[in-house]
Chains A and B, each alone.
Chain A
């Protein structure tokens, strides 16, 4: 087979800063193959060796400035285990309180600035309007300011509890460095209430703009964005969604529980596949095996995303989020089997799932802010020894995040492994891009209108890490697609400014 055309999207935006898509067409003009490349590596797993274990919450923060809170939490949980210390209950709650504030701000950013514009302004709207400014234009400046306020008040909470607005500093093995005062608690309580209002408003906006518009609903339920894979997420003892703690549950494409394991057993269940053309690795389910970029029960590919978390769970742990959870599964015609809904495979539903999680985070934040124990001064327990191995995990907004450290008897690290949120979704994103390309480019005919955006939508729904609000504040997501002949000469260029 000789590929006679090559389409390069270089770079795509919002994926670790640097991402690249190569699409090859065959002689018939159909898609022969696509490659989704990540041209970046920093090497934390090596250079953290030799560091003090207790420095890791601050060092691994710097893996990602968009979700440093997730790394901070996975790291302190790994340290609890490495130092064999159980934090006081209040400390766990403070960690979780900060984490809920983080989820609210992070999901808000994605819905309004990144993923949302495709719906709120529309997938076929002029590209210059398909952005946060277009969103504000469409929904009004007042709402735009609400979005800014929501981010601001939750970053305020993050700074109050964690010491810094970005890259928190307060996490320690065995607890937290600072208790919460009653004045702080009161402020946070009010902020949590405002967050619930904002989450409900956002769900209503999604309902009005997307669900009540048959064109959008068709897009959400179309087979362009459909993949039947395994799903992963953390659940509590009642198999409800939990971001901070619990067991990791994996369900198969039919919705049957495949495995439920403690995060410390991750390497018995997850393996990482390496390709020579990308720096990022491809995690997959070890017991199913790596079969390449294919769907189905025989392929070890799994997704770990807001939709995945809901797909693996029996329910939500807060009442309002539960109502919306049920509504979403009913809308997709999902049937209940053995007391739980069958998974939704339409990947665009991830946006809806994200808003349901936003509401859960806001509700749970209020629960924590009104918990009498939250102002307890007992927030740290001093470790008595060093066990030398620590594995910690949380649900980052973009997927299950695992940190694994090993140390010598002084607590100096000798081995570090991390599987970060977005990495889990590398294979699904690669497949989603391929599928979108296959559907949009056939027999040499390229569906010009919207091709760039619809291919972007295929990976954007996963909210790849580093897709921070700043990227789209000016509202521009420029992209160039070059179509080359077999000599590599550019014969046609699509450009979107």
Chain B
């Protein structure tokens, strides 16, 4: 019997949602198993570190790498998997763009450690202990990996072939990619061009959102807790910052379906480099500050500021999932 191609799924700094999304292929998981030697990685790659090193280079056909690069260990395994895989895919928002863990780039490593180990109300740490890469214990030296200053995307530390967006990617989209690969293996057809975003659409979430859309003119932004939005009208038109306009389609507009705004987890649409910048540009064109004839520049600016002031968290609103992969990358130093 011919050896099945090897498929691996590894998580770095992530939440496990990508693994659950793969499990939620449900009975199709048996098809995946039939076509691939399916190596789920937290079991495999962590524990067979040396075995993986001993494998010939490029002997894994596909690695679906999820999770951001937060620690030294994350990066080391990213390099190892790159070496051993023919195709390395940044799988899910964390490895693609940094995702929620990437919001840590708004803060210094020092502040993170200080909050977690000194300042929390339940902390009891009179000796001011902070976990260290090396600790001398009576019995020997203990090691834990370095916690990096910043969160990085997978492509910022190694060469990536493809990207699958989503936090996590929807199971149907994962299946689309896997079945396409099976087809390519059978027919010998050409692979997609390098750098392609797979398992998603090429347009924006607004394209698959069924809400009624009219002229967008926003006089003021509203927070989601402040009112019950109409369930049929475009949320952005109702003043809620819905990221659909600056987010790639592919999820099926799930959040707007339950009367909640898109928060942007599928990343920027095709051809857009920076999701937050795209959103700000889009908002710039639809903010309605009323009749400006006869107003001084100062007065106009004041009106604009008054609207902008209703958004108290730019980074968390516009770059919730994409900060490390954005132009900004993180805090301004």
**Contact A473/B316 with A266-B122, A278-B144 known, Cβ cut-off 8 Å:** no
Residues of B within 8 A of A66 (CB): 15-17, 19-20
A151 to B147 alpha-carbon distance, docked (Å): 36
Q: Are B257 and A50 in contact (CB under 8 A)?
A: no
Residues of B within 8 A of A162 (CB): 258
In the assembled complex, B332 has its CB within 8 A of some CB on chain A? no
Residues of B within 8 A of A (CB): 9, 11, 13-24, 26-27, 29, 33, 38-40, 42-44, 46-48, 50, 67, 70-71, 73, 99-101, 103-104, 106-107, 111-117, 120-125, 129-132, 135, 137-140, 142, 144-145, 147, 167-168, 170-171, 223-228, 254-255, 257-260, 263, 312-313, 315-317, 320
Q: Are B9 and A470 in contact (CB under 8 A)?
A: yes
Residues of A within 8 A of B43 (CB): 13, 471-472, 474, 476-478
**Contact A50/B227 with A37-B142, A64-B15, A151-B26 known, Cβ cut-off 8 Å:** no
Contact partner of B13 among A40, A415, A419, A471, CB < 8 A? A40
**Contact A62/B140 with A42-B70, A474-B38 known, Cβ cut-off 8 Å:** no
Nearest to A34 among chain B residues (CB) is: B139
Q: Which of A44-62 contact B (CB under 8 A)?
A: 45-52, 54-55, 58-59, 61-62
What's the minimum C-beta distance from A214 to chain B, rounded to whole angstroms?
Answer: 32
22 contacts between A and B (CB under 8 A): A6-B139, A14-B42, A42-B70, A48-B103, A52-B313, A59-B100, A62-B99, A66-B19, A68-B15, A68-B17, A166-B21, A166-B24, A169-B260, A275-B129, A286-B124, A290-B124, A382-B227, A468-B16, A469-B19, A472-B43, A476-B44, A480-B50
A62 to B99 alpha-carbon distance, docked (Å): 9
Q: Are A3 and B140 in contact (CB under 8 A)?
A: yes
Residues of B within 8 A of A267 (CB): 121-122
What's the minimum C-beta distance from B254 to chain A, rounded to whole angstroms?
Answer: 5
Residues of A within 8 A of B15 (CB): 61-66, 68, 466
A278 to B133 alpha-carbon distance, docked (Å): 9
**Contact A470/B23 with A18-B46, A45-B116 known, Cβ cut-off 8 Å:** yes
In the assembled complex, A279 has its CB within 8 A of some CB on chain B? yes
Nearest to B39 among chain A residues (CB) is: A474
Residues of A within 8 A of B112 (CB): 41, 43, 46-47
Residues of B within 8 A of A277 (CB): 131-132, 135, 137, 142, 144
Contact partner of A35 among B137, B223, B263, CB < 8 A? B137
In the assembled complex, A479 has its CB within 8 A of some CB on chain B? yes
Closest 7 CB pairs of A and B: A65-B17, A163-B258, A24-B139, A470-B19, A43-B112, A62-B100, A65-B15
Q: Which of A158-199 contact B (CB under 8 A)?
A: 159, 162-167, 169-170, 172-174, 177-178
A166 to B169 alpha-carbon distance, docked (Å): 10
What's the minimum C-beta distance from A309 to chain B, rounded to whole angstroms?
Answer: 21
**Contact A42/B44 with A32-B139, A412-B312, A470-B19 known, Cβ cut-off 8 Å:** no
A59 to B47 alpha-carbon distance, docked (Å): 30
In the assembled complex, A328 has its CB within 8 A of some CB on chain B? no
Contact partner of B140 among A22, A163, A266, CB < 8 A? A22
Q: Are B131 and A65 in contact (CB under 8 A)?
A: no
**Contact A276/B48 with A177-B258, A271-B124 known, Cβ cut-off 8 Å:** no
A15 to B260 alpha-carbon distance, docked (Å): 32
**Contact A46/B313 with A178-B259, A380-B228 known, Cβ cut-off 8 Å:** no
A178 to B257 alpha-carbon distance, docked (Å): 9
Q: Which of A453-477 contact B (CB under 8 A)?
A: 465-466, 468-474, 476-477
Residues of A within 8 A of B (CB): 1, 3, 6, 10-11, 13-14, 17-18, 20, 22, 24, 32-33, 35, 37-43, 45-52, 54-55, 58-59, 61-66, 68, 79, 83, 109, 145, 148-149, 151-152, 155, 159, 162-167, 169-170, 172-174, 177-178, 266-267, 270-279, 281, 283, 286, 290, 380, 382-383, 404, 410-412, 415, 417, 419, 465-466, 468-474, 476-480
Contact partner of B44 among A10, A48, A478, CB < 8 A? A478
**Contact A155/B225 with A17-B16, A18-B73, A65-B16 known, Cβ cut-off 8 Å:** no
B23, B39, B70, B106 pick with most chain A CB within 10 angstroms: B23
The A/B interface has a contact count, at CB < 8 Å, of 295
Give 18 new A-B contacts, CB below 8 A, not counting A42-B101, A62-B101.
A39-B71, A43-B113, A49-B107, A65-B19, A68-B17, A148-B29, A163-B254, A169-B255, A172-B260, A177-B259, A274-B117, A276-B130, A278-B131, A281-B123, A382-B226, A471-B43, A473-B29, A476-B43
Q: Are B320 and A59 in contact (CB under 8 A)?
A: yes
What's the minimum C-beta distance from A177 to chain B, rounded to whole angstroms?
Answer: 4
Contact partner of A471 among B40, B103, B130, B255, CB < 8 A? B40
Residues of B within 8 A of A380 (CB): 228
A465 to B20 alpha-carbon distance, docked (Å): 12
Residues of B within 8 A of A473 (CB): 23, 29, 33, 38, 40
What's the minimum C-beta distance from B187 to chain A, rounded to whole angstroms?
Answer: 26
Q: Are B129 and A46 in contact (CB under 8 A)?
A: no
Residues of A within 8 A of B315 (CB): 50
Q: Are A474 and B33 in contact (CB under 8 A)?
A: yes
A20 to B316 alpha-carbon distance, docked (Å): 34
Q: Are B129 and A274 in contact (CB under 8 A)?
A: yes
B16, B120, B125, B168 pick with most chain A CB within 10 angstroms: B16
What's the minimum C-beta distance from B211 to chain A, rounded to whole angstroms?
Answer: 14
Contact partner of A474 among B16, B40, B46, B224, CB < 8 A? B40
A149 to B26 alpha-carbon distance, docked (Å): 8
A50 to B170 alpha-carbon distance, docked (Å): 29
Residues of B within 8 A of A38 (CB): 144
A266 to B15 alpha-carbon distance, docked (Å): 25
Residues of B within 8 A of A11 (CB): 46-47
